[in-house]
Amino acid sequence: MIGVIANSDDACIAREFFEFFKTPWEFYRSDRQFDVVLSTEDVRLEDVSARLVVIYRSDRTSVDEKDRTQTAAVREGAEVSFSGIATPLYGSCLTFRSSGSSVLKSSGSGESVAYVTRVGPGWFARVGYDLFKEIRTLLTQGQPASNAAVPTLELHIAFLRDLIIGCGVPLVEIPPVPHGHSFIACLTHDVDHAAIRKHRFDATMFGFLYRATIASTLNAVRGRLSLKDLMTNWSAAARLPLVYLGLADDFWRSFDRYLDLEQRRPSTFFVIPFARTPGRSPNGMAPVARGAGYGVEDIAAKIDKLRAAGCEIALHGIDAWSDSAKGVEEASQISRYSSAVVSGVRMHWLYRDGNSPAALEEAGFSYDSTVGFNETVGYRAGTTQVFKPIRATRLLELPLHVMDTALFYPDYLGLTAEQAWSLVRPMLSSASRFGGLLTVNWHDRSIAPERLWGSFYVKLLDELTRQGALFCTADQAVSWFRMRRSVAFERLQDGGWSVKVETPAGNPQPGMRLRVHRMASSNNSFVMPETTEVNFTDTVLTDSMVFHA
């Protein structure tokens, strides 16, 4: 059991942090016995009792003064090296010159940012940054694009886990991994251009013609496009008049092909409710180009087929991010044609602000999937997990990780397929290491001319399958995490634990794992788990069970 000492402003952050790191914990009480005490307040060691006391603070504490520990302040923007990964810190931190064992070092100076030492029969760890301030920054402001590749929040969890195990304290947790799988793969599609027939003599049509002809030719000359793809794009441009006359198939109608490519791997389609409605931006009216050429009524027949194949239809919102009444109106329009309640939303152009979670929750959505990057791929909130935004009470956020336009569009990264894979491959490794999920957004037209990004998508699907991912719709993925959040631990009088979980009736999804970590410290010395063998046992978690750690 972890006892947490934090100021009242950080109480909600602490609660959410321990939904990510699902392990027994409660706020510290002097009348309770804890295995670990984690504090972001200045506490005296003689006032708390535990096998391990961890103090996270970025200023000097009474312990530093008592031990005469030499410290040096580091301003915001520091990086620490954990498991060989440069991990950003967004607040200030301290470095230490101590006789204890350094367990975390500054990537730049090599100075200690955290150390562990013996105090009587137990252990004391001093960490030179404020954990909950770091988590708050990740969940509210998010990471800059320059740090997108780093799953920072997961690394904070991994460090704390290793710290606890390294001190020989047994640890129980529910990892964010569905039983029988390595992580969750969430395939999504933003439907921005359901048919090129809806675009006549507008910027979208002229942009298509330019990219299918001139830009494709230049890319072929540069070796960035195959001759086969060049011919495909030229052919599509030549057929465009026939498409408008109804004499040729609309090559942007890609729904059926997605069903063929995904082969019963369910996905979520985020659909725009109203045609030619740009809505509002954070600075006033949005650009006219934000208005889609179609509305949900234009693809009603396709929606029926997608739902019959097990896919989810969700809202690609226009003004729901800032106006709950608009959110209700937009969701109702989707429901009118999908004959189902709309559970989730992703905002068109990823518009959002700090009040969006409350507005979306008031509109009745159970999840949002807007937190991500337009310009790159990676971890905007630093996590592979579904989480609850600070301004929400029940709405959950399904973070967006990989988007096709960010990888390949010239205005963003503009990568070749090989370069794109070098960015995506480490994200697959992070999903396997930390669990959670990988959320992919492949736009409706991205497997059609002129983009032709289908081959990369198929390669990604194959690799996700090979690595043992569980394929879920967005709503299914959020439901699995909501079930995990329902897990409650209770310590029994005999020292064992009771664990209960709220499993929805008829829930077809895989269950969860109960993981018990054990590692004996040799000769009472601290050993980071990465340098020795870590033992843990996994048990399938049932609705109610008792175990001993």
At residue 259, does pLDDT exceed 90? yes
At residue 520, does pLDDT exceed 60? no
DSSP code at position 278? -
DSSP code at position 75? -
Q: pLDDT at position 120, please?
A: 85
What's the whole-number average pLDDT of the chain? 93
More confident position, 18 or 166 = 18
Structural domains of the chain, with CATH: 2-173 (3.40.50.880), 183-195+252-481 (3.20.20.370), 482-547 (no CATH)
Q: What percent of the chain has pLDDT over 70?
A: 95
Q: pLDDT at position 85, please?
A: 87
Give 545's pLDDT tier (boundaries 50, 70, 90). confident
Q: What is the distance between the alpha carbons of residues 217 and 210, in angstroms, rounded to a whole number?
A: 10
Q: What is the distance between the alpha carbons of residues 395 and 485, in angstroms, rounded to a whole number?
A: 13
Length of the chain as a residue count: 549
pLDDT in tens, 360-396: 999 999 999 999 999 999 999 999 999 999 989 999 9
Q: What percent of the chain has pLDDT over 90?
A: 79
Q: Taking a C-beta distance cutoff of 8 angstroms, is the pair 397, 381 a contact?
A: yes
User: Which helix (H) or strand (E) covers residue 490, if one does?
Assistant: strand 488-491
User: What does DSSP say about strands 280-281 and 488-491: parallel, antiparallel, or unpaired?
Assistant: unpaired
**Amino acid letter, 518:** R
Give 522's pLDDT tier (boundaries 50, 70, 90). low
- Overall average pLDDT of the 43-47 stretch: 91
Strand partners, 81: 86, 105
At residue 548, does pLDDT exceed 70? no
Is the pTM value of this prediction over 0.85?
yes
At residue 28, does pLDDT exceed 90? yes
- Overall average pLDDT of the 500-526 stretch: 74
At residue 439, does pLDDT exceed 70? yes
- Overall average pLDDT of the 45-65 stretch: 93
Q: What is the 3-class SS of 507-543, one letter each residue?
A: CCCCCEEEEEEECCCHHHCCCCHHHCCCEEEEEEECC
Q: Taking a C-beta distance cutoff of 8 angstroms, is the pair 297, 311 a contact?
A: no
- Overall average pLDDT of the 20-42 stretch: 94
Report residue 434 CA to chain centroid gap: 11
Q: Taking a C-beta distance cutoff of 8 angstroms, is the pair 205, 211 a contact?
A: no
Q: What is the distance between the alpha carbons of residues 357 and 363, in angstroms, rounded to a whole number?
A: 10
What burial class does residue 489 get, using C-beta atoms within 10 Å of its C-beta: 0-12 exposed, 13-18 middle, 19+ buried? middle
Q: pLDDT at position 280, please?
A: 96
- Overall average pLDDT of the 316-326 stretch: 98
Q: pLDDT at position 505, please?
A: 64
Give 496's pLDDT tier (boundaries 50, 70, 90). confident
